[in-house]
Structure 1
């Protein structure tokens, strides 16, 4: 039944038989047969069918919660048995908000030094996407904001608090300032992350609190694009301090601290709640606790 539950989870995620089958590397008829067999085994209708996928039935919605739990537990069992035989080994999939990618590098590097048999996949995603991916078992953990959006029932390890820097060219009017207020940036040519990123919503709130508007001339989901436009077009952007330092290293750009009333959201590692966690996830949470600057 486990393989059919994984088919069901994939279908619920893709909301399309063909796309779900492709994601699993099977044919669409195989997927359709698997879902029908699962319905027969459970004695309920899981999916509304017509000429195309019509959504999950109410019973299907309830079954999805159980399917995710059962598949997650089965994977946890496999991880536990692999640990008993080989020690910490395998693959960790971690989704990370764009502004925390330097911290993902810190965590993976520190973890890998202690556990060299563990491989990492690190994906850049929005905070909302990260929670969805954990629910769908697409990733094992995430690095995201801890106090701005509901995270649900998860285990957390805070890593740091965000503080912000203006990035500008050396000939900018702000280049030699010791600090810049949010209100002063109103009307300037700003390039910022897209609104689906929680960082952008936090930046917008800073501007609102200062009685100003964050009017972006360019929006991107890539922080590299933002810094490139500052360098090439003499525009301005605002990013968390560690990421700003990393992206501007060796470039003719200045970093100016943002002043005034500031929000300092907490960012940390999140993982689906289990008691106990798999050995590999427990080790990752412990490593996050070790490198956190909030535990000093």
Structure 2
């Protein structure tokens, strides 16, 4: 098995078509087909179902795609590190974060990395914790920020910060006149919820509600904090999130954040234990930790407490 064959296989998988993949790779289609066929023969499995519309991955092909992309990414990192030598860390680093955290972290983190490590190319991938967890296990991401616990036998984890979970509601919502609230009050109103039910934020709330015999009443379920905030402002109902996700609206006096009892969410930087971090990944991890501390210290991450 050669890296070239894996690159050809990944190209066909992404394009779902041998002809388009050959054009992208700038090689003849028969040559591409031969390389993929040789890979199938060597592995003893069929990777694609060929049809008139193109090519679809088989289950064996889907499993190989995940590993092949990780291997090619690692090979590219090794190549760039060897090429740059002593010029400092270099290469591409992929970081998985939630959509809301991407809004908070992307600009300061990418700016810091560009200034401190100009040879590093940082790739930020957005997704909710369950998906990021799976992508990290599959080797598709170098590191992820998990909301909640990860498996310490699989991940090397660095605590970043913790945040109280809040009810985010309109500033003029008379149902919540105080500066905090409790689980019973949260369960008593229709809510706009962000992310899938298995995401860390809803999981923490649901685990606290279950012993009380309470459940959340979702009037709407959306994918991003940006959409949920618009629905809250439109009067559809409050949402549950951390204060940092609505810092601009809180500063403008449009929304308020009420901590829900003592519920908290913990943010942790995680990477696979059996995959040694490259110098570039280690540099990004250090920059990320420093960035999180700075955002907390300057109150640009309201409500958060940095890990010791």
Q: What TM-score range do you get, normalising by the shorter chain? A: 0.7 to 0.9
Mapping for residues 161-240 of structure 1, pairs under 5 Å:
161-195=162-196, 197-233=199-235, 235-240=237-242
Q: Residues 84 and 31 (structure 1 numbering): CA distance in 2 closer, same or farther, change over 3 Å? A: same
RMSD over equivalenced CA pairs, Å: 3.7
Contact kept? 2:191, 2:217, Cα under 8 Å = yes
Gaps of 5+ in 1: none
CA apart distance, 1:243: 2.2
Distance 1:284 1:213 in 2: 40
- Provide, for residues 113-151 of structure 1, a one-character-per-residue CA deviation record: whole Å limited to 9, x for no partner: 42244343323212232234445655433222351x548
Distance 2:100 2:37 in 1: 43
Gaps of 5+ in 2: 294-304
- Provide, for residues 55-82 of structure 1, a one-character-per-residue CA deviation record: whole Å limited to 9, x for no partner: 245xx78867874664344223113224
The size of the alignment, in residue pairs, is 288
Mapping for residues 1-296 of structure 1, pairs under 5 Å:
1-8=2-9, 17-18=16-17, 25=24, 32-40=33-41, 42=42, 44-47=44-47, 49=49, 51=51, 53=56, 55-57=58-60, 67=68, 70-84=71-85, 86-101=87-102, 102-134=104-136, 138-147=140-149, 150=151, 153-195=154-196, 197-233=199-235, 235-246=237-248, 248-259=250-261, 262=263, 264-273=264-273, 276-290=276-290, 291=292, 294-296=306-308
Q: Residues 152 and 8 (structure 1 numbering): CA distance in 2 closer, same or farther, change over 3 Å? A: farther
Distance 1:187 1:288 in 2: 38
- Provide, for residues 156-188 of structure 1, a one-character-per-residue CA deviation record: whole Å limited to 9, x for no partner: 322112311111112212443121111112241
TM-score, normalization: structure 2? 0.75
Contact kept? 1:189, 1:236, Cα under 8 Å = yes
Distance 1:186 1:172 in 2: 16
Contact kept? 1:46, 1:56, Cα under 8 Å = no
Distance 1:126 1:265 in 2: 14
